[in-house]
């Protein structure tokens, strides 16, 4: 039973890591674009602090809620 539970937890962690990796790749590909650091939803600048803490962020704090 524990093995089944651990497998589910590991698979969920893997999915989350894959999503984060894909978002990081997406952001990295935009680093030289003029819209780097711009929220995809509201088109406002994403604060530098958020980018430093969560570089995979594609949305500002307000829109991410």
7-51 per-position pLDDT tens digit: 989 999 999 999 999 999 999 998 999 989 999 999 999 999 999
Give the span between the Cα atoms of 37 and 31, in whole angstroms.
8
* CATH fold of 2-64: 1.20.120
Question: What does residue 3 show for φ and ψ, rounded to 5 degrees?
Answer: -65, -40
CA distance 32 to 56: 15
How many residues can be counted in the chain?
65
Q: Name the pLDDT band for 4 (thresholds 50, 70, 90).
A: confident
Q: Do residues 61 and 54 make contact, with C-beta atoms less than 8 angstroms apart? A: no
Q: Is the dihedral of CA 33, 35, 39, 41 positive or negative?
A: negative
């Amino acid at each position: 039973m524990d093995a089944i539970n651990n497998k589910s937890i590991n698979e969920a962690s893997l999915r989350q890591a894959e999503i984060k990796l894909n978002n990081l790749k997406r952001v990295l590909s935009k680093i030289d674009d003029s819209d780097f650091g711009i929220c995809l939803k509201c088109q406002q600048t994403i604060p530098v602090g958020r980018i430093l803490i969560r570089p995979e962020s594609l949305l500002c704090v307000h829109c991410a809620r």
